[in-house]
């Protein structure tokens, strides 16, 4: 019996010495320690022995079994620890590695310009107002001194909705009407209303069908053209730097009298002409004028008592100048350069 135990012990120990991984170990366990395996056979063999032999060999057999089991357990722990270390090693996060280059966005250019404009005009005591983009013909045209058959309506090819009374506003000027109606001819107004407008245009480098305007209106007593000039000049200097100049040219809008177009000196050349200002050295940025007496009257303000000025910027035009862009279509084409804000000219 002793010999059998020692032979089996030797055999198993040799196998255990060669074990390489947990699978080998499991195999040994299955081969030798299962209920019908050689170790069980030895245990069964005890039955045929005398009581004394049973005692002696029973103990020897138990020691042998305990010995084998603890060796197997030891190896099992060793393999499990190795496995865990391997896993930890492979999943280790190296925090010194450079991170992935995730492109991040930034505020949209036009939105930025609108916010900066609002900041300036809020500082001048203006309210920021909003108006509907689906507008009544009455507010978009008629009360701005553009009756139904007025030829100047052709200048703004308008999207009409359901007949002739409802349209997508072609300008932000109807917000002026709404503000004056709310003022009921009694209160002064200082307001800025940036917003979207719509026109049936052929899209090209400088025209779009949907764009943003930044409109302003001031109504008070003793307002003159020089107030308009001072306001626009201060705004342009705030936006593009102290050295930027403005000039007024006579123009025509049905809702203002006199009407002007306002140019600013080109910030990209010394006035000799460049791709931004074409050959002129001046860039048109704004339509404006003194609010027409008819408009004042229609909106409930007595022109003998009240005067006002109004102006309308193209937001994208202001943005293009700030960011040195020559083609406005890029804004809506998901060009990643927009997220990098082009090369912003900050002369403030
Ligand atoms: N509404 C004009 C346009 O879309 C721009 C404009 C001109 C607005 C003169 C004004 C203004 O308030 O006084 O072309």
Q: Which residues does 111 contact at the CB level (< 8 Å), separation at least 6?
A: none
Nearest to 296 by CA among 203, 200, 209, 221: 221
Q: Which pLDDT tens digit goes with each residue over 210-224?
A: 999 999 999 999 999
Distance 330 CA to ligand 1 centre (A): 25
DSSP H/E element including 82: helix 51-90
Ligand 1: centre distance to CA 171 (Å)? 7
For each successive 10 residues of the chain (348 residues), what is the average pLDDT?
84 88 87 85 84 85 88 90 88 83 78 96 98 97 92 81 91 98 97 96 79 97 97 97 95 97 90 81 95 98 98 93 78 65 58
Assigned token pair, 26:
């499991």
Quote the CA–CA distance of 152 and 144 in Å, as a whole number.
11
What pairing do the DSSP bridges indicate for beta strands 210-220 and 246-253?
Answer: unpaired
9 token code pair = 């012990």
Q: Which atom of ligand 1 is nearest to the CA of 197?
A: 4
Residues of the chain by 3-state class (helix, strand, coil), percent to 5? 45, 20, 35
For atom 3 of ligand 1, which residue has the closest CA?
A: 171
Residue 295: which of 132, 215, 179 has the closest Cα? 179
Q: With beta carbons less than 8 A apart as the criterion, state whether 198 and 293 touch.
A: no
Ligand 1 centroid from CA 215, angstroms: 7
Which pLDDT score, from 0 to 100, does residue 166 have? 94
pLDDT for 336: 66
| CA dist., res. 166 & res. 156, Å (int) | 15
Looking at residue 259, its pLDDT comes to: 98
Nearest to 235 by CA among 346, 313, 317, 292: 313
pTM: 0.70
109-339 is classed in which CATH architecture? 2-Layer Sandwich (3.30)
Task: Output the residue whose Cα is nearest ligand 1's atom 5.
Answer: 312
The label of the residue with tokens 């927009």 reads 338
Q: Which of 219, 228, 255, 286 to mutate to test the pocket of ligand 1 (most atoms within 8 A of CB)?
A: 255
Nearest to 171 by CA among 183, 163, 159: 159
- Of 257, 252, 276, nearest in space to 265 by CA: 276
Q: Which atom of ligand 1 is nearest to the CA of 256?
A: 13
Atom 13 in ligand 1: which residue has the minimum CA distance? 288
Residue-range domain boundaries for the chain: 2-90, 109-339
The atom of ligand 1 lying closest to the CA of 255 is 13
Nearest to 297 by CA among 165, 156, 142: 142
Bin 218: left if φ > 0, else alpha if -120 < ψ < 50, else beta: beta
Report which protein residue has its CA nearest ligand 1's atom 8. 312
pLDDT at 348 (0 to 100): 43
- Give pLDDT, residue 341: 54
pLDDT score at 335: 67
Q: Where does ligand 1 bind, in terms of residues with CB under 6 Å? A: 171, 173, 215, 253, 256, 287-289, 310-312
Residue nearest to atom 10 of ligand 1 (CA): 311
**Which one of 143, 150, 288, 296 would you pick to mutate in the ligand 1 pocket, going by the greatest count of ligand atoms within 8 A of its CB?**
288
Please compute, for residue 202, the number of CA atoms within 13 A of its CA located in the half-sphere on the CB side.
Answer: 1
Residue 344, both tokens: 């912003």
User: What is the three-class DSSP state of 154?
Assistant: helix
Q: What is the DSSP string of 86-121?
A: HHHHHT---TTSPPP--------HHHHHHHHHHHHH
Q: What is the pLDDT of residue 344?
A: 67
């Amino acid at each position: 019996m002793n010999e059998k135990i020692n032979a089996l012990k030797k055999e198993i120990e040799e196998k255990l010495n060669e074990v390489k991984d947990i699978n080998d170990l499991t195999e040994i366990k299955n081969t030798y320690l299962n209920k019908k395996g050689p170790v069980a056979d030895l245990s069964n063999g005890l039955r045929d022995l005398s009581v004394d032999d049973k005692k002696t060999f029973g103990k020897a057999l138990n020691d042998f079994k305990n010995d084998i089991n603890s060796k197997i357990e030891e190896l099992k722990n060793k393999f499990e620890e190795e496995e865990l270390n391997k896993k930890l090693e492979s999943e280790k996060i190296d925090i010194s590695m450079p991170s992935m280059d995730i492109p991040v966005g930034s505020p949209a250019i036009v939105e930025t310009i609108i916010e900066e404009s609002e900041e300036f005009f809020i500082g001048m005591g203006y309210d920021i107002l909003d108006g509907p983009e689906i507008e009544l013909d009455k507010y978009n045209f008629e009360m701005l001194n553009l009756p139904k058959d007025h030829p100047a309506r052709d200048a703004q090819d308008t999207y009409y909705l359901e007949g002739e009374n409802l349209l997508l506003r072609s300008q932000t000027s109807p917000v002026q009407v709404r503000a004056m109606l709310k003022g009921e001819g009694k209160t002064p107004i200082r307001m800025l209303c940036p917003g979207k407008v719509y026109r049936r245009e052929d899209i090209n480098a400088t025209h779009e069908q949907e764009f943003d305007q930044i409109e302003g209106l001031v109504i008070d007593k003793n307002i003159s053209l020089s107030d308009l000039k001072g306001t626009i000049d201060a705004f342009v200097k705030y936006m593009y730097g102290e050295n930027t100049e403005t000039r007024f040219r006579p123009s025509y809008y049905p809702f203002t009298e006199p009407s002007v177009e306002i140019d600013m000196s080109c910030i990209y050349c010394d006035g000799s002409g460049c791709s931004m200002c074409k050959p002129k050295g001046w860039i048109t940025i704004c339509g404006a004028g003194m609010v027409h007496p008819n408009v004042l009257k229609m909106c409930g303000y007595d022109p003998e008592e009240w005067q006002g000025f109004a102006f309308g910027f193209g937001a994208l035009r202001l943005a293009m100048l700030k960011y040195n862009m020559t083609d406005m279509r890029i804004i809506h084409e998901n060009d990643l350069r927009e997220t990098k804000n082009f090369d912003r000219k900050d002369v403030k």
